[in-house]
Amino acid sequence: MLTLYTYWRSSTSYRVRIMLNWKGLPYRPEYVSLPRMDHRAAPFLGTNPQGLVPALQDGDFELAQSMAIFEYLEERHPSPALLPSDIQRRAYVRMLANIVACDIHPLNNVRILRHLEQRLGLDEAARNDWYATWIAAGLQAFEASLEHWGWDGDYCCGDEPGIADVCLVPQLYNARRFGCDLRPYPRLVAIAQRCESLLPFAAAHPSTQADAVA
Amino acid sequence: MLTLYTYWRSSTSYRVRIMLNWKGLPYRPEYVSLPRMDHRAAPFLGTNPQGLVPALQDGDFELAQSMAIFEYLEERHPSPALLPSDIQRRAYVRMLANIVACDIHPLNNVRILRHLEQRLGLDEAARNDWYATWIAAGLQAFEASLEHWGWDGDYCCGDEPGIADVCLVPQLYNARRFGCDLRPYPRLVAIAQRCESLLPFAAAHPSTQADAVA
């Protein structure tokens, strides 16, 4: 049995919940509260000394970093896949996923927003401006990439969701939470809406988690 | 023939130069000046509408995002490898690589440092404090992970460099450039030193690039 260290509103945890659901892998959730700072204390640091969720435990093997967890799950449980079989399409969806994983989320996660407020003294408006700046830059890049590369279909690449969609959906959830205007990204919004109606995505949604706070 | 869109001091470009050298793949460098903002203008935006280096062109196929380029090269040219063959070790080195790719570099690249100065009005000392905060958090996580997971060898995982080392070396180059104290990370410094003496790493060093400015 897999154990997933997760927090309901962590978008990287949300990604891994979708992956596990997609592959039909049952897991035991271990809840790590970010507001309570559980991620920076024992016992969690004994599992992941990086002090960040998510982390996955597979028997004796512990693993952190959602994108490394993704590649691990894809190699260990290749079907149902979250990567296309064609080598260029695989590269393409990894590229899209990395727009979220490397260019958007790292700038807007909770430790950064806390630092902006507490260390740099930004007020809420300035903090939200920071958030909106990087989400807009990243989503513009994502939307422009879909157009430029010209792949077609119901999802980011073809008619099956993959790792790009798995990263996109939690990022748009976050963007909405911060009141970002998503009208400039009609393609992304349509893709995410299709994904959200699928059970593996819906069952991973923050609001449906046992540690969710109303 | 491959074309690499690169800037000498971009650490993500530096990563891809190491990958290409490691695999013995000749490439034509196309220089994109970040100070001149070439990456935000034609013709580069016609290759990569994300407006970020590096980008790779392989025949008609264009690809951006250094970590997606890595997985593409590894699938297309598996030998010499930058991933171990064992599935858990592959996951482990990808996890380490992502500490750099997702937790350190995105916070400290040129667009962020510019934004801190120009939009938030931070002076040089405050900007360097920002840089030092995230490099320290990330390198501590990296060093602690090496200890926790307890793999041994001359490099991040065993006696051959891999993708974790490819990401580590440019990040330490950057850290030195910003005057960060690396003494708390003796293992990382030793690994990077071993890597830097290898030709594929040395030939990718920023100072040896044709677009380097003295």
Tell me: do A98 and A184 sit in the same domain.
Answer: yes
The whole-angstrom separation of Cα B25 and Cα B212 is: 22
Q: Domain containing B177 — which CATH number?
A: 1.20.1050.10
Residues spanned by the domain of B47? 2-80
Tell me: do A169 and A98 sit in the same domain.
Answer: yes
> Which chain B residues have a beta carbon less than 8 Å from that of A106?
102-103, 106-107
Closest CB from A52, A65, A141 relative to B51: A141
- Would you state the pLDDT for residue B21? 98
Tell me: do B102 and B12 sit in the same domain.
Answer: no
Structural domain contains residue A140: yes
- Would you state the pLDDT for residue A181? 95
Contact B191, B168 (CB under 8 A): yes
Average pLDDT of the segment spanning A3-16: 98
B38: enclosing H helix or E strand: none
Given the cut 0.90, state whether the ipTM is greater than it.
Answer: yes
**What does the longest C-alpha to C-alpha distance in chain B come to?**
48
At B119-154, the pLDDT tens digits run 999 999 999 999 999 999 999 999 999 999 987 789
Q: Where does a domain end: B51, B80, B109?
A: B80
Tell me: do B56 and B144 sit in the same domain.
Answer: no
Say how many domains are in chain A: 2
Tell me: do B129 and B69 sit in the same domain.
Answer: no
- Helices of type H across chain B: 11-22, 44-47, 66-76, 87-98, 105-108, 110-118, 124-149, 163-177, 186-196, 199-202
Tell me: do A69 and A100 sit in the same domain.
Answer: no
Average pLDDT of the segment spanning A60-73: 98
Tell me: do A71 and A133 sit in the same domain.
Answer: no
Average pLDDT of the segment spanning A193-213: 98
B95 touches chain A (CB under 8 A): yes
B90 pLDDT band, cuts 50/70/90, is: very high
Tell me: do B97 and B194 sit in the same domain.
Answer: yes
Q: Domain containing B58 — which CATH number?
A: 3.40.30.10
Average pLDDT of the segment spanning A4-23: 98
Tell me: do A99 and A188 sit in the same domain.
Answer: yes
Q: Where does a domain end: B63, B80, B97?
A: B80
Structural domain contains residue B186: yes
Enter the tokens of residue B180: 């960060």
The whole-angstrom separation of Cα A80 and Cα A68 is: 18
Cis peptide leading into B43, omega within 30 of 0? Answer: yes
- Would you state the pLDDT for residue A150? 85
Tell me: do B55 and B102 sit in the same domain.
Answer: no
Enter the tokens of residue B88: 């858990």
pLDDT over threshold 90, residue B41: yes
Tell me: do B117 and B185 sit in the same domain.
Answer: yes
pLDDT over threshold 90, residue B214: no
A145-154, A161-170, B164-173: least confidently modelled range:
A145-154
In the block, residue with structure tokens 């958030």: A131
At B47-87, the pLDDT tens digits run 999 999 999 999 999 999 999 999 999 999 999 999 999 99
Enter the tokens of residue A75: 């190699």
% pLDDT > 70, chain B? 100
pLDDT over threshold 90, residue A214: no
Contact A8, A206 (CB under 8 A): yes
B114 touches chain A (CB under 8 A): no
Contact A15, A71 (CB under 8 A): no
The whole-angstrom separation of Cα B107 and Cα B101 is: 10
The whole-angstrom separation of Cα A124 and Cα A67 is: 30
Structural domain contains residue A210: no
Structural domain contains residue B213: no
% pLDDT > 90, chain B? 96
Average pLDDT of the segment spanning A27-35: 97
The one-character DSSP state at A121 is -
% pLDDT > 90, chain A? 96
Of A24, A44, A25, A28, the residue nearest A36 (C-alpha): A44
Task: Give the type of residue at B70.
Answer: F
Of A49, A67, A9, A54, the residue nearest A27 (C-alpha): A54
Structural domain contains residue A121: yes
Residues 66-85 of B with CB under 8 A from A: 67-69, 71-72, 75-76
Which string of DSSP letters, residue by residue, matches A41-84?
STTHHHH-TT--S-EEEETTEEEE-HHHHHHHHHHHS-SS-SS-
Using DSSP's 3-state secondary structure scheme, residue A174 falls into helix
Dihedral sign, Cα of residue B66, residue B101, residue B203, residue B45: positive
The whole-angstrom separation of Cα A18 and Cα A134 is: 24
% pLDDT > 70, chain A? 100
Tell me: do A99 and A67 sit in the same domain.
Answer: no
> Which chain B residues have a beta carbon less than 8 Å from that of A69?
91
Task: Give the type of residue at B72.
Answer: Y
At A80-93, the pLDDT tens digits run 999 999 999 999 99
Structural domain contains residue A28: yes
Average pLDDT of the segment spanning A107-129: 92
pLDDT over threshold 80, residue A151: no
Structural domain contains residue A211: no
- Residue A165: CA count within 13 A, CB half-sphere: 29
Structural domain contains residue B184: yes
What is the average pLDDT score of chain B?
96
A107 touches chain B (CB under 8 A): yes
Q: Where does a domain end: A80, A107, A124?
A: A80
